[in-house]
Amino acid sequence: QAKSRGRNRVQVFSDKMVSVTPDTLLLENDLYKALERDELRLHFQPQFDCRSGRITGAEALLRWDHGGRLIPPSDFIPLAEETGLIVPMGEWVLQRACTMAQQWRELSGWPLRIAVNLSALQLDQPDLIDTVARTLAETGLPATALELEITESVVVRESLRAADVLMQLRALGVGIAIDDFGVGYSSFAYLRELPVDRFKLDRSFLSAVPQSGGDSRLVAALIAMGHRLEVGIVAEGVETQAQADFLKAHGCDEAQGYHLGRPMKEEAFEALLMAHSSEVAQDNAAPGDAQ
């Protein structure tokens, strides 16, 4: 009897240790306050046209400034999804990203596109379409300059509902990208049904390119497949010049990665965009001198 009581006690205790560690509680408590305390930040990572090397867009990536420590999304987004906090947080991200993008477009004259990640829970909100439409109207960002990224797993899991929501977003003029494309959930049946503008090749595909012949052939095939489906391909996780060269040689549309540009603070991204746009303007003004 003592033994079974002991076992029970241990079980209850260990359940609590697993699900409600003091750390998680503290983090959850603080996460609730992150929004009102204005602790959320966006970093922006540039995306480049593989052929011309020019900036096409930027992906907005969320960080939490928790008492001076910058916490990466992998450490708090799961909790934000569990608690539903991702919905107001996601609205903040959308508003901030669209505001900054439009500001930079006006400042630089560069036709920047901004990519914003959406979580599954946001896709489930009946007012998502209204929220996106309202944000575009408020910020003045053209719908075609906004791209929403949805991970492949979410789209596959909720393919019917997702297709409906994506269709409505697209009717607004907003672009749709499938994030982490090709990882684990491959179902080719949905590919032809979905209203999608871009596949973002998961960076795991690229990590052994070009050393690995198998991986290199797979990436080349995925690029070709995207093009046959009339879907653009963005390669994620470009960390070397050899990878960038490979993508260019195989007709990949766009690339994003540490080798090309890291996620950076707003001021740094603005400086990059201003320098880039004036450089291109100079090249265009004096084509003969460009070489």
Question: Comparing C-alpha atoms, which of 130, 49, 131 is closest to residue 89?
Answer: 131
Stretch of 37-45, 75-83, 175-183, 247-255 contacting Mg ion, by CB under 5 A = 175-183
Q: In Å, how far are 59, 66, 148, 252 from 145, measured between CA atoms?
A: 12, 31, 10, 20
Beta pairing, strands 198-201 & 69-71: unpaired
Which option in Mg ion, ligand C2E, none does residue 102 bind, with CB closer than 5 to 8 A by kind?
A: none
Question: Under the phi-then-psi rule, with left for phi > 0, alpha for psi from -120 to 50, and beta for the rest, what region is 142?
Answer: beta
Q: Which of 47, 56, 102, 117 binds Mg ion (CB under 5 A)?
A: 117
Q: Is 47 in the site for ligand C2E (CB under 6 A)?
A: no
Q: Is 74 in the site for ligand C2E (CB under 6 A)?
A: yes
Beta pairing, strands 69-71 & 55-66: antiparallel
Residues 6+ apart with CB under 8 A from 218: 205
CB of 286 to ligand C2E, least distance (A): 33
Which option in Mg ion, ligand C2E, none does residue 61 bind, with CB closer than 5 to 8 A by kind?
A: ligand C2E
Transcribe 241-274 into DSSP letters. HHHHHHHHHTT--EE-STTT---B-HHHHHHHHH
Contacting ligand C2E within 150-209 (CB under 6 A): 179-180, 203
Q: Which of 72, 88, 140, 173 binds ligand C2E (CB under 6 A)?
A: 72
Q: Which of 136, 141, 257, 276 binds ligand C2E (CB under 6 A)?
A: 257
CB of 41 to ligand C2E, least distance (A): 10
**Contact footprint for Mg ion (CB under 5 A):** 117, 149, 179-180, 236
